[in-house]
Amino acid sequence: MKMTNRWNRIIYRLWSPVYDKTVGRFFLPGRRRALEILELKPGERLLLVGAGTGADLALLPEGVDIIGVDLSPEMLARARSKLPLPGRSVTFIQGDAQRLLVEQAAFDAVVFNLILSVIPDGRACLHENLRALKPGGRAVVFDKFAPETGYIPIGRRILNIFSTIFGTDITRKFGDMLRDSGAEVVWQEASIFRGKYQIFLLKKRNK
Ligand X SMILES: C[S@@+](CC[C@H](N)C(=O)[O-])C[C@H]1O[C@@H](n2cnc3c(N)ncnc32)[C@H](O)[C@@H]1O
Q: Catalog residues that contact ligand X under the rule CB under 6 A.
A: 5, 8, 12, 31, 50-52, 55, 69-72, 75, 96-98, 113-115, 118-119
Closest CB 168 distance from ligand X, rounded Å: 6
Closest CB 98 distance from ligand X, rounded Å: 5
What are residue 186's phi and psi, to 5 degrees? Answer: -110, -10
Q: What is the DSSP letter of 93?
A: E
**Looking at beta carbons only, is 139 or 206 nearer to ligand X?**
139
Q: Which residues does residue 184 pair with via DSSP β-bridges, in sequence order?
A: 203
Closest CB 8 distance from ligand X, rounded Å: 4
**Looking at beta carbons only, is 44 or 169 nearer to ligand X?**
169
**Looking at beta carbons only, is 32 or 157 nearer to ligand X?**
32
C-alpha distances in Å from residue 64, one per residue of 41, 55, 191: 7, 16, 25
C-alpha distances in Å from residue 47, one per residue of 6, 170, 171: 24, 24, 26
Q: What is the DSSP letter of 21?
A: T
CA-to-CA distance for 179 and 94, rounded, in angstroms?
27
Closest CB 97 distance from ligand X, rounded Å: 4
- SS3 of 106, please? coil
**Looking at beta carbons only, is 34 or 178 nearer to ligand X?**
34
Residue number of the CB closest to ligand X reads 52
